[in-house]
Amino acid sequence: MSTFALVGSGAPLPPNGTLAAAKLQLQVEDALASVRRLWIRGQVRNLIPPPDRLPSKRRWWSRWKKNGHPNGQLPAGALPEKVHLEARISGATWETDIALPADGRFDALFTVDFPQDRPGWRTARYRLSAGPQIAEACGVVLRPVTAGNKATVVFLPIEYTYSSTEVQQLVNPKWAPRLNEILQSVAPDRETHAPVFYLAAVPPSGGCSSTELALAATALGWPGGDFVLLAAERGREVTALAEGLERLRWLFADSLELELLNLESTVTPSLFSLAADRSDRATIRFLANPEEMNSHGGHRLRLSYNRIISLRPSRAGLVPRHPVVFCHGMLAFSMLKMQIPDNLNCFSALREILRERGIPVLFPQVPPTSGVAERAEQLREQILHWTREPVNLIAHSMGGLDARHMIARLGMGDHVASLTTASTPHRGSYLADWFLANYRQRVPLLLALEAVGINVDGFKDCRPSVCRKFNEENPDHPKVRYFSYGGDVPQSRLSPFLRRAWNILTPVEGPNDGMVSVAAARWGEYLGPIHADHFAQTPDATFLRDGEDFDSFGFFANLVEELAHRGF
């Protein structure tokens, strides 16, 4: 699932009228929003006819006819033509009825009014109802930065996007240099953070993926942007590109001017009757068109005016210079590590969002209750096995201590560009002292874990006295930039599991998230508070309170973009 992929994945839907035994499924590609409008594309799977359209009687011969009909088929038209879709974003809900063709694909348009209207990532929760059938899904909505009130739309060559085997031809040395010259040229009237949208025509099933396109674009040094994948039958690819452009014009009618860089040789001005001037559409102008395709598959581009209008610099605002490693905290993962796949931890829900933007990510696992030294050794081993280039570390809770020990004591200073910690007990937590003093004997959890051979030194390493010594022995590395966030949440917004801990910690250390105080979490450059409890801060969504609405996806996705803005 890409930031704005318009092609579903997975098995095809059953044909219209087929009785499906599986539960109704809603697949929503990440949506795109403007100041007042929202565009969502997706697919509905396993939709069955309403109960009153199902066979009312089962005859004796139905035993050898599936569901009472040969081959399980119902009369044509049995499936509903429309379904109801709700989108909940930032605490507000918008609803609409959407048409549903036989393949289950839908195109939903909303007029919205976002509270706390701001650009960036937000978590969206969707609910689709078709009679008594209900399906839910979760995704990410991106509202781009509108600096300069301009955006660039790029038509990618159909030859390279309609087949998964041809995507890498985008880096053809006979074709790419001239395109890069246009993409990387500089003009004083162009804002550096204007959004870019790459439109690609792809088959309804199969073809290239947004991940492949993002990786190819990153390899070329193209500007970071959103890949809009438009499903089209063979022969309708150009029409799909034009219709996708019209959707973007509708979406940004009240916020952006669009500039089109056309790299598809079969697109002609006559095909843009859809792009005629309208008051409810964003204005559009052309930057360049391909002149011809030579026998080697290379393009020569001619500009439509005397000077080149530049796009934003490569990677700006979206793709960090270095890969990103997400480090989990204590008890954030299963103790039965042998049963869990590699490269998977409590941040793994971010995998598709980031990888399909061309951002390499790693989700290492370390022992959940072991001490900092052991956890740091395993963290180092997994990072070096994955890459030898510098990385950006993003760590939650005790994961920040692991990362600092690894940098200071295990020779990783030259392999880490930045470390950003969220609610890490850099100065320890009074809760660790309180727990060991009050519960070690009365509720001998640690003794029981030690009895079965589980290392529980992690609890001891979070005590304030131990952390003071840790800070003396693990100084910051001069080549690494350190950033931090601290959790600050009122008691009313706590998970029930953290309320007693919050009451114990608050009189001693002040504002906290139920586990770690803001004072203990400050390290390096402090970037501000996180208004969510300790459990709600990570995207795995475990042990949440009812009604929790903290946007953990958006928080960490924006954090990655901020690293890119800072040059990491």
Average pLDDT over residues 5-34: 55
Query: What pLDDT score was predicted for residue 8?
Result: 33
Query: What pLDDT score was predicted for residue 23?
Result: 80
- Domains of the chain as residue ranges with CATH: 25-142 (2.60.40.10), 147-303 (3.40.50), 324-427+459-565 (3.40.50.1820)
Query: What pLDDT score was predicted for residue 489?
Result: 94
Whether pLDDT at 325 is above 50: yes
Angle between helices 399-409 and 372-386 (to 10 degrees): 70
Looking at per-residue pLDDT, the higher value among 529 and 65 belongs to: 529
Q: What are phi and psi of 16, to 5 degrees?
A: -55, 125
**CA 58 to chain CA centroid, nearest Å:** 48
Q: Do 359 and 322 form a contact (C-beta atoms < 8 A)? A: no
Tell me how far apart the alpha carbons of residues 560 and 321 are, in angstroms, rounded to a whole number.
11
Looking at per-residue pLDDT, the higher value among 427 and 545 belongs to: 427
Average pLDDT over residues 163-170: 60
Q: Is 337 helix (H, G, I), strand (E, B) or coil?
A: helix
Supply the mean pLDDT for the chain: 75
The rounded percent of the chain whose pLDDT value lies above 90 is 26
**Range with lowest mean pLDDT among 333-342, 419-428, 475-484:** 333-342
Q: Is 374 helix (H, G, I), strand (E, B) or coil?
A: helix
Whether pLDDT at 442 is above 60: no
Can you list the positions of beta strands (E) in 57-195?
82-89, 92-99, 105-111, 120-130, 133-143, 150-155
pLDDT tens, 268-285?
766 655 555 667 788 887
Beta carbons within 8 Å of 116's beta carbon, 6+ residues apart: 90
Query: What pLDDT score was predicted for residue 75?
Result: 45
Q: Is the dihedral of CA 238, 239, 240, 245 positive or negative?
A: positive
Which alpha helices (DSSP H) does 410-514 contain, by range?
430-438, 445-451, 457-461, 464-473, 499-509
pLDDT tens, 199-255?
888 887 766 666 667 666 666 666 667 888 888 888 888 888 988 898 999 998 878
**Range with lowest mean pLDDT among 109-118, 139-148, 544-553:** 139-148
Looking at per-residue pLDDT, the higher value among 308 and 83 belongs to: 83
Average pLDDT over residues 254-263: 82
Average pLDDT over residues 257-270: 78
Query: What pLDDT score was predicted for residue 272?
Result: 58
Beta carbons within 8 Å of 125's beta carbon, 6+ residues apart: 87, 88, 89, 136, 137, 138
Whether pLDDT at 158 is above 60: yes
- Using 50, 70 and 90 to split pLDDT, how confident is the model at 533? very high
Whether pLDDT at 10 is above 50: no
Question: Is residue 80 within a helix (H) or strand (E), and if so which, with residue range?
Answer: none
Q: What are phi and psi of 29, to 5 degrees?
A: -75, 155
Looking at per-residue pLDDT, the higher value among 128 and 192 belongs to: 128
Average pLDDT over residues 355-382: 89
Tell me how far apart the alpha carbons of residues 526 and 519 are, in angstroms, rounded to a whole number.
10
pLDDT tens, 78-106?
567 788 999 888 778 889 998 888 778 88
Whether pTM exceeds 0.95: no
- Using 50, 70 and 90 to split pLDDT, how confident is the model at 113? confident
Query: What pLDDT score was predicted for residue 205?
Result: 72
Burial class of residue 326 (count of CB atoms within 10 Å of its CB; 0-12, 13-18, 19+)? buried
Looking at per-residue pLDDT, the higher value among 39 and 278 belongs to: 39
Average pLDDT over residues 442-450: 56
